[in-house]
Structure 1
Amino acid sequence: MSRIKIVLITVVLPLMLSSCFGRYIVTEKEVRRHYAHRDRKPEMRMIKNDTLTLCVASVGADTLPMLLLIHGAPGSRWGYMNMMDDPELSHRFHIVSVDRIGYGKSRLKKRRYVTSIDTHAHSLLPVLSLNHSSEKVTVLGRSYGAPIAARLVSLVPDKVKELIMVSPVIDPDTEKFYWFSRWGRMSIVQWFLPEEFNAATAEKYSHSEELKKLLPIWHNLKVRTTVIQGGNDWIADPSNIEFAKKHIGSKRAQYIFLDKAGHMITFSHLGMIKEMLMKNALFQDRISSVNSDVLGGGN
């Protein structure tokens, strides 16, 4: 291998990848700076058992309905910082954002990277026990986190109020690869990249096969489901929303296509997502109030 090629692979390529995908990773230093002068800060918690460690950030009382946020690849719990910082959302929800195993401080014992969607979904089950309300959970997954969210919902449908998939990568036939994708698998390149990038690369190269394993669950998905897709998304092919329409079996599903939106809809269209969440929570409050009056006999 020529010296120039070695320089390109070991120096230039890692810098390019870090520049392209760095926006999806928030460093601990950036988090400390962000919350340095804020009164309200997320509560940090570690969930540990014999097989895994999960790092969780949460805001809002744990007696409120849980809003569980699942990030993509690469990503972290801090990818939903703007939602955790919203005072109205944290007043209405127990917002829980979790590092998936292989990202941040979350790990599966004796496994460096985890590519199985099923394993990711099962690993998140302990998070549900953090909530002490009697309400069902709303699960929101973005990008690669969307199919994991769907699988999680399929495991505990009776505990879920709603599934929201934003910029979902769920169609096994439209997985996108780029000119630099294969270089990211080289050990010499991975040596210079953050672990989150390498975990994302491992997921990418098995994602299509993992999505095929998920095909049977879509028809049996009966909870209220919302799919939000952008027309200018360069990571999740916009046709993913058509896959969702074809395969999701829920009669309470809605599909929102934002023609000019990119991949990071939870940032560009936070107001829309927030309004949707707040309206759904308010509706549930009214139902609970009516039920309470009926049970109490009323006056």
Structure 2
Amino acid sequence: MKKVKPTEQIIKNDTLSLCIASIGSDTLPMLLLIHGAPGSLWGYMNLMDDEDLQKHFHIVSVDRVGYGKSRLKKRRFVTSIATQANALLPVFNLNKSDEKVTVLGRSYGAPIAAKLVSMVPEKVKELIMVSPVIDPEKEKFYWFSKWGRNSFIQLFLPGAFNTATAEKYSHSEELKKLLPVWQNLHVPTTVIQGGNDWIADPSNIDFAKKHIRSKRAQYIFLYNAGHMITYTHLAMIKEMLLKSQLFRDKITSVDVVGQ
């Protein structure tokens, strides 16, 4: 049996070009996937390739503005979380099902997903944040980070890396602007964090527990997991999406040991 491939399309208006890839019938409930930094819509291929998910969801993966073919007019980099989220709003128009959208964001895509959800909560079924970078006090820098800001060196780097560097150096301030969003987040929300994550500090889950006021929030801490949970724990992500077993209102915290 021949594998079905995602369909790529570009949503355009006067100021925006947004590249998306989608698979599954557009009359099914939408699963919207938002990547980190650097990243690409193709970083979710293992979810898009999954035949079980294809049968139950219209899976839509986006290139955030500044990545791939997605652009805002006259803007090379878009470091504003609010602007990034606003640029994704047209994707909701593709939802032809009678159900609300499930939004999944990982790493740098998680706070953008949260901001997006806060803008249209009536259109969202649930928010899933995987390996989130959301604590403004825990932004990680590396010895090579500063070299990425050198305009000469940038000439030799892929565009996605230069975009990611621009985002990185404004990320802490952008996360501070996001603080009011967490308190007003009332859709069912799941935060999944790995204990061996060297990119997103594991304490980001503590920040989430402190700031997210929703009574429909739950927290999954995978002690031995790294950053790429959507790959290493695909079966768990699938189970959550297909069965929604963990989305019961009374659950406030789940610690998964031995993963």
Task: Verify same fold: TM over 0.5.
Answer: yes
Q: Distance in 2 between matches of 1:102 and 1:38?
A: 33
Structure 2 residue matching 1:57: 3-state secondary structure: strand
Structure 1 residue matching 2:136: 3-state secondary structure: coil
Q: 1:100 aligns with which of 51, 55, 64?
A: 64
Structure 1 residue matching 2:157: 3-state secondary structure: coil
Question: Are 2:165 and 1:216 aligned?
Answer: no
Q: Per-residue deviation at 1:192?
A: 0.7
Q: Per-residue deviation at 1:98?
A: 0.3
Q: Per-residue deviation at 1:212?
A: 0.2
Q: Per-residue deviation at 1:189?
A: 1.0
Give the match for residue 60 of structure 1. 24
Give the alignment of 1:181-200 within 5 angstroms.
Answer: 181-200=145-164
Structure 1 residue matching 2:181: 3-state secondary structure: helix
Structure 2 residue matching 1:235: 3-state secondary structure: coil
Structure 1 residue matching 2:105: 3-state secondary structure: strand
Give the match for residue 234 of structure 2. 270
User: Structure 1 length normalisation: TM-score?
Assistant: 0.81
Question: Are 2:128 and 1:128 aligned?
Answer: no
1:111-157 CA distance string (max 9 Å, x none):
00100000000000001111101100000000000000000000000
Percent sequence identity over aligned pairs = 77
Q: Distance in 1 between matches of 2:119 and 2:48?
A: 26
Greater CA drift, 149-158 or 37-46: 37-46
User: Structure 2 length normalisation: TM-score?
Assistant: 0.94
Count residues with an aligned counterpart.
Answer: 247
Structure 1 57/251 Cα, relative in aligned 2: closer, same or farther at 3 Å? same
Give the match for residue 46 of structure 2. 82
1:2-56 CA distance string (max 9 Å, x none):
xxxxxxxxxxxxxxxxxxxxxxxxxxxxxxxxxxx95300011110000110000
Amino acid at match of 2:39: G
Larger Rg: 1
Q: Distance in 1 between matches of 2:193 and 2:25?
A: 31
Q: Distance in 1 between matches of 2:219 and 2:137?
A: 20
Give the match for residue 170 of structure 2. 206
Q: Distance in 2 between matches of 1:156 and 1:130?
A: 14
Structure 1 residue matching 2:243: 3-state secondary structure: helix
Q: Distance in 2 between matches of 1:44 and 1:151?
A: 25
Q: Distance in 1 between matches of 2:214 and 2:53?
A: 26
Q: Which has the higher helix share?
A: 1
> How much is the aligned-residue C-alpha RMSD, in angstroms?
1.4
Structure 1 280/111 Cα, relative in aligned 2: closer, same or farther at 3 Å? same
Give the match for residue 196 of structure 2. 232
Give the alignment of 1:1-299 within 5 angstroms.
Answer: 38-280=2-244
Amino acid at match of 2:208: A
Q: Unaligned stretches of 5+ in structure 1?
A: 1-36, 284-299
Structure 2 residue matching 1:217: 3-state secondary structure: helix
Q: Unaligned stretches of 5+ in structure 2?
A: 248-259
Runs of 4+, deviation exceeding 2 Å: none
Structure 2 residue matching 1:67: 3-state secondary structure: strand
Q: Per-residue deviation at 1:280?
A: 2.1
Q: Distance in 2 between matches of 1:242 and 1:209?
A: 19
